[in-house]
Structure 1
Amino acid sequence: MQSLHGSVPSGNLSFAVKNNGTEITEFYLLAEDGLRIVGEVENIGPGLTRNLVVTAPAGKYTTACKPGMQGDGIRAAFEVTDSGNKTGVDADFQKLVDTGVQQYTAYVKDQTEQLVTGTKAFADAYAAGDVTKARELYAATRMHWERIEPVAESFGDLDPKLDAREADLEPGQEWTGWHRAEKDLFPPSGYTALTATERAKIATQLVSDTEELGKRTRTVVLSADKLGNGAKELLDEVARGKVTGEEEIWSHTDLWDFQANIDGARIAFENLKPALAQKDPALATGLDGKFAALEAELKKHAKGDGFAYYNELSPAEVQQLAALVDALGEPLSKLTSAVVL
């Protein structure tokens, strides 16, 4: 199955998605950033055709087919040109809210699928003692977790297994998950490396717990308040752990986490924005500007496919990021009440 590319006029779009392959597949229409899901159809068996209908304004999009329902998928650029017809002006407010929730639910599922795929690759490299490969995969793979952190953290038994930091461990608590591997891959002075058997154990459990997370997110039930509150939680997470440099204390890959948290918060906001624009257009416009300012500042620290290490930033640069996080936090805290009440 090949991903669709080309251009069409704005309005109600209908995609007939036929699976000519041998694996069950999914089809996504993504926003220009390649993250926010505008619409999706899943569980398309070999030889079957499924239809996807979406209302799409003019803009640049990405189509993605995911054979086997894993990984990043086969992607292509897709453009919607301005037809001159306004879309969604008569849309019922609750329908806008419901659509936003559906889109974010699909986004969570997609990010979790990519997390599972990436975690397996990371775990293979780590267990094999391929330090260079595991280091390369560490931050980029964790971004999928960080984008959906409020949902992942809602599973209270899995979160500490996957994301506990050493400083947060309770007496007698076994330390597993990403940060256990992080310390082993980016060791401090005097650290004793784990044995091959210990690495294999950490890797096996990391994959097992992540697969369990994937199963649970497939049936997770979200709502507008969870999206709004989750967006604020992600920003609070940036303020608590990323701005301080405490999250990735050995790898110093905090800016990858920072970007991913902002991605998740922004997409929750954008999924609710059509509804918010009806209730409080000034807040919607203001949030657009605050998100743009913060992301522009983050881009200043981009390097290749990633970012500068956090310990390379000057105190003034950290202070500027913190100020922009604070500036976004206040209006973002109003999102839930503006949409729900």
Structure 2
Amino acid sequence: MTSHRLVGALALGVVGTLALAGCVAKADAAASAGLTVISTADGCDVSSATATSGTLSFEVANSGDDVTEFYLLADDGLRIVGEAENIAPGAKRTLTVVAQPGDYYTLCKPGMVGEGVGKAAFTVTGDAVAVHGEDAEQKQQAVDLYAAFVKDQVGQLVPAVQALVTAYESGDDASAQAQFPQVRAYYERIEPVAEALGDLDPRIDYREVDAVAEGLDWTGFHRLEKDLWVPAQDALNADGETPAWQDWAPSTPAERASYGDQLIADVQELYDYVHSDDFQKNLDAQGIGGISNGAIALLDEVATGKITGEEDWWSHTDLYDFAANVEGSKMAFSLVQDFATSQGDKGASLVTQIESGYSDLEAALATYGSLPLGFVPYTDLTEADKRQLTDLINALAEPLSQLTATVLE
């Protein structure tokens, strides 16, 4: 089927645009704007901070000493609109995107890990651009953009985990406590990727009760968590029955070193996987159905773990995980919503319901804080608060569950 539609996506928390490369009408392509980017160790110099809508070409030159990447980000600063990656020192790479009017950010990432450098506002003016192209081509581009998002999140997770572990192993618990929920957000946005890798997610993210039930060694984030938030004398384990202090003693420095180093190694394994050919092949095989299913799976994570308060049993930082799951789910939805809309009135109505569901859920979460500024402890929520969030999750889950079947019609 040939698609003739405007490609627009809802960004995380605000309305943005999704640009797909190589699918613009010839008349629009003729108006292509050429921009240059100089990437250095500490800068990302773009020749202009504005451009007119249409096909934009960013010629990225790496003047630094490390392999670098260049990103065009949506107005939330999180969702990737386009990227040029693996640019060797002294080399150049061109990123071409079809940019709709709106606000964006540009960013370079020397070393291809961390938050990047030189993040700057970039504005596209003019009229909306009609995007054309074979349906299969646009679907592949959606898959590629999701792969880029996953790699970006894991790329930020690696140094963040290293900093968390450094604080944990050195006994700087106050610093580690402050970092813990923020670091986990990178993982929670893309958790279904790790869950597909056998025992990797259990090693990184299993709760104590799950590890015990399956006869596994308990490692990962939540093993660190219990050391950082020493259980109260009257606290129970996540099974609701076993006293938290039963057979429990704080980890020794040597044990902390072991748990911390294991978490670093496991996250590095995740990084290696998402930068491998196997990862891209698996995403290609799943297609946009896999992206859609990822959106559904992340909302299921909220419904089955976060809303109960069982995920971060010791720290009560569940709302951070909750918000990150919703962000990751919404990002995945944004990549496939155009395909759902193309399925006539039924698809358009479904998209409207899903958009409304995300908006209502985000508004409710915002009353308790935000990822950048922090959330209240989950124990501060009343039963009525939790019921409201549960109702909103259920209201979103129902139409979202229909998404995969709709985009694959």
TM-score (norm 1): 0.96
Contact 1:55–1:87 under 8 Å retained in 2 = no
Contact 2:62–2:90 under 8 Å retained in 1 = yes
2:362 matched residue in structure 1:
295
1:242 matched residue in structure 2:
306
1:55 aligns with 2:98: yes
Q: RMSD across aligned C-alpha pairs, in angstroms? A: 1.4
Contact 2:50–2:124 under 8 Å retained in 1 = yes
Determine which of 186, 197, 200 is the counterpart of 2:229: 186
Contact 2:205–2:222 under 8 Å retained in 1 = yes
Task: Work out the CA distance in 1 between the residues paired with 2:358 and 2:74.
Answer: 16
| Code of the aligned partner of 2:151 | K
Contact 1:243–1:322 under 8 Å retained in 2 = yes
1:215 aligns with 2:279: no
2:290 matched residue in structure 1:
226
Task: Work out the CA distance in 2 between the residues paired with 1:171 and 1:296.
Answer: 37
Contact 2:75–2:103 under 8 Å retained in 1 = yes
Q: State the Cα deviation string for residues 140-167 of structure 1 (Å, max 9, x = none).
A: 0011110001111101121111111111
Q: State the Cα deviation string for residues 36-61 of structure 1 (Å, max 9, x = none).
A: 11111111111211100011211111
Q: Give the 5 Å matches for 1:1-341.
A: 1=39, 2-3=43-44, 4=46, 6-74=49-117, 75-81=119-125, 83-88=126-131, 90-169=132-211, 170=213, 172-190=215-233, 191=245, 192-219=249-276, 220=279, 221-222=282-283, 223-279=287-343, 280-302=347-369, 305-341=373-409
Contact 1:57–1:87 under 8 Å retained in 2 = no
Q: Which runs of 4+ in 1 moved over 4 A?
A: none
Task: Work out the CA distance in 1 between the residues paired with 2:374 and 2:396.
Answer: 23
Contact 1:96–1:274 under 8 Å retained in 2 = no
| Code of the aligned partner of 1:245 | G
1:171 shift after superposition: 5.8
TM-score (norm 2): 0.80
Task: Work out the CA distance in 2 between the residues paired with 1:189 and 1:275.
Answer: 50
Q: Summarize the Cα distance change of 1:171–1:59 in structure 2 as closer, same or farther, 3 Å threshold.
A: closer
Question: Number of residue pairs matched?
Answer: 339
Contact 1:26–1:65 under 8 Å retained in 2 = yes
Unaligned runs of 5+ residues in structure 2 are 1-38, 234-244
- SS at 2:103's partner residue? strand
Q: State the Cα deviation string for residues 236-293 of structure 1 (Å, max 9, x = none).
A: 1100101110100110000100011001110001011222221222222222221111
Q: State the Cα deviation string for residues 91-122 of structure 1 (Å, max 9, x = none).
A: 33222221111110110111111111111111
Unaligned runs of 5+ residues in structure 1 are none
Task: Work out the CA distance in 2 between the residues paired with 1:54 and 1:336.
Answer: 26
Larger Rg belongs to: 2
2:19 matched residue in structure 1:
none
